[in-house]
Amino acid sequence: MIVKRAAAVFALLTLGQEIGAQQPAVRVTTRLVEISIVAETKDGQPVEGLAREDFAVFDKGRRQEIAIFTAAPAVPPAAAVPKLPPDTYTNRLEQLIGPAASPTMILFDGLNTHITDQAYARRQIVRFIEQLRPGDRVALCVLGRGPRVLVDFTDDAPALLEALAKFKGEQAPSLDAPLYDPGIAAPEHFNSWLGELTFNLVDHFDEDRAFRTSRTLVSIASHLERLPGRKNLIWVSGSFPISFELDALPRPQMKSRRPRAVSPEIERAARALNNANVAVYPVDARGLMAPQEYRADRAEVTPSQPGRDQATFATMRVLASRTGGRPYYNANDLVAAMRRALDDCRKTYLLGYYPAHDEWNNRFREIKVEVARPGVQLHHRGGYFAQAGEPDETWYREQVLEAATFSPLDATRLGLTVHAAAGQEGEVNLELMIDARDITFHPKEKEGVWECGLDLWLVQLDEKEQRIKTAANTNNLRLNRATYDQVMQAKGLRLRERLHPDPKAKLLRVVLRDSGSGAVGSVTVPLRRYRRALGS
């Protein structure tokens, strides 16, 4: 249930702002493209000492001016991570995990991997975790019918191993459905109508897996986005149901309030990976495989022809090439692949530029980077989709907010900290601090005000994380010059909310979206703690 609330309950703390009527969202037209570059010698050793002037960046053949340049240290200096104050919750990963040379998320994909292959992949992941080095920060996520976070970013290898040992694995029913294969003898299919029925089942299951997989990639990218520099996603899977190999992404043209088609989710996944500068390392969980025509599960030997394996390998190559990762397939040493992902982050250069074009048409634009030093090999993503601003339609905004609501990972692009306290008459008082640098302010000089738009959802969930009710609010704020200056000096916009918890509610998801940029931040608050404080 979604409850639309009046604007009066949405108030700034101590800032005396003016809240105006709802206005059209302000769109962002300036876009920064970041490229994480691995510079290495022919034998794979990192190359140090490169400077901004050593690089040249070309966007679709046109040279670009490098606006930002950073050479990341191999291992960042150790720093104590300060504890958050009591009753305070945040999505600011830089405060939670401290500096990291190689923040890496492992996605152990059971949705797209047969259960027999999962056992092998699990053993390889265990070996990889046992070999973690100082400075490594690794998170572990699993995907079954939906994503689940076993451990968020940590350098605690025993904690990762313990969590993985408790995970029993899942088998997606879509992978149990028999695939109709003309190469298999006719008696194996019983009769022709069974083959036709199987085709229909496979189409349904494939679309469902692609939908769930796309949403998982969005969740992971949204969670990693706040961390600076290069981030890795090691995706261990037996199949990869989505790809970004097209020259252009389709724009969603659906009128439905809750569209279920896959294309909008693939578009969002591409956008999220672009924004977060995430390098995808697809790792084939099946290991070394015999050619299809010689496998034991086939009834007869037939001439070799391109099949699903080759299509899977091609998808892996595209995913890696377009995000800056490396594919790894048809080999048994999965540990080496996963270790390579962390080693790639040990010495990287981050370049950024504002594209000198105005062709935001959802088409893929190729990036080339050259370096003025002989013998240096560069590895980076091959380009980006020049995506226009996010759709303005209500259904799209609500879909984005709902996806963040049910994601097991907090979205971090919009920095958000929440302080909770028991209030009067069973209420819970919430104080929200939003990073002002993440908010799109639009100046109206003639009126002397700065406007921003914020969508806020307060979602109460039961013990199974099923929604009980949602309080939703969309407002445009109008800040005078003094208030705006105060907000920017403090680097934060403070908001107050009062919540009336449902008796069955165990968790609260606070989800905030900036209307100007589409940036989303989310934080999870355990309501049970404050229910005890209230004596209920």
Tokens for 422? 């028991």
**Looking at 346, 377, 394, which one is the last position of a domain?**
346
User: How far from chain centre, in Å, is Cα 214?
Assistant: 10
- Tell whether 283 and 304 lie within a shared domain: yes
The verdict on residue 92 lying in a domain is no
| Rounded Cα distance, 223 and 216, in Å | 11
Q: Which residues pair with 282 in a beta bridge?
A: 235
At residue 524 the predicted structure's pLDDT band, cuts being 50, 70 and 90, is very high
At 175 the pLDDT is 58
416-439 tens-digit pLDDT: 999 999 888 788 999 999 999 899
At residue 290 the predicted structure's pLDDT band, cuts being 50, 70 and 90, is low
The verdict on residue 475 lying in a domain is yes
Mean pLDDT value of segment 435-447: 89
The verdict on residue 488 lying in a domain is yes
- Tell whether 179 and 46 lie within a shared domain: no
- Tell whether 277 and 413 lie within a shared domain: no
The verdict on residue 137 lying in a domain is yes
What one-character-per-residue DSSP string does 129-173 give?
HHT--TTEEEEEEEESSSEEEEEEEES-HHHHHHHHHH------H
At 94 the pLDDT is 78
User: How far from chain centre, in Å, is Cα 354?
Assistant: 23
At 8 the pLDDT is 32
At 532 the pLDDT is 55
Tokens for 142? 């699993």
**Looking at 315, 346, 377, which one is the last position of a domain?**
346
- Tell whether 57 and 107 lie within a shared domain: no
Domain extent for 453: 2-28+405-533
Mean pLDDT value of segment 268-282: 88
- Tell whether 68 and 108 lie within a shared domain: no
% of the chain residues with pLDDT over 70: 77
pLDDT at 462 over 60: yes
At 397 the pLDDT is 86
pLDDT at 489 over 80: yes
- Tell whether 153 and 259 lie within a shared domain: yes
Residues listed for the chain: 536
- Tell whether 23 and 39 lie within a shared domain: no
At 4 the pLDDT is 43
Higher pLDDT, 52 or 342: 52
pLDDT at 44 over 90: no
50-101 tens-digit pLDDT: 999 999 999 999 999 999 998 876 555 555 667 889 999 999 887 777 666 6
Q: Helices 394-405 and 192-224, interaxial angle, to 10°?
A: 80
Scanning the structure block, which residue is given the tokens 């989505």? 242
At residue 511 the predicted structure's pLDDT band, cuts being 50, 70 and 90, is very high
Q: Which residues pair with 348 in a beta bridge?
A: 38
The verdict on residue 90 lying in a domain is no
**Looking at 331, 346, 361, which one is the last position of a domain?**
346
At residue 251 the predicted structure's pLDDT band, cuts being 50, 70 and 90, is low
Residue 446 has φ and ψ, to the nearest 5°, of -65, -35
pLDDT at 28 over 80: no
At residue 183 the predicted structure's pLDDT band, cuts being 50, 70 and 90, is very low
Q: Are 52 and 508 in contact (CB under 8 A)?
A: no
The verdict on residue 88 lying in a domain is no
Counting the structural domains of the chain, the total is: 3
- Tell whether 8 and 156 lie within a shared domain: no
- Tell whether 420 and 518 lie within a shared domain: yes
The verdict on residue 82 lying in a domain is no
Give the up-direction half-sphere exposure of residue 216: CA atoms within 13 A in the CB hemisphere: 28
The verdict on residue 479 lying in a domain is yes
DSSP type of residue 346: S
- Tell whether 198 and 283 lie within a shared domain: yes
pLDDT at 208 over 50: yes
- Tell whether 6 and 124 lie within a shared domain: no
Q: What is the CATH number of the domain that holds 315?
A: 3.40.50.410
- Tell whether 138 and 6 lie within a shared domain: no
Q: What is the CATH number of the domain that holds 464?
A: 2.60.40.10
State the burial class of residue 365 (Cβ atoms within 10 Å of its Cβ: 0-12, 13-18, 19+): buried
At 293 the pLDDT is 52
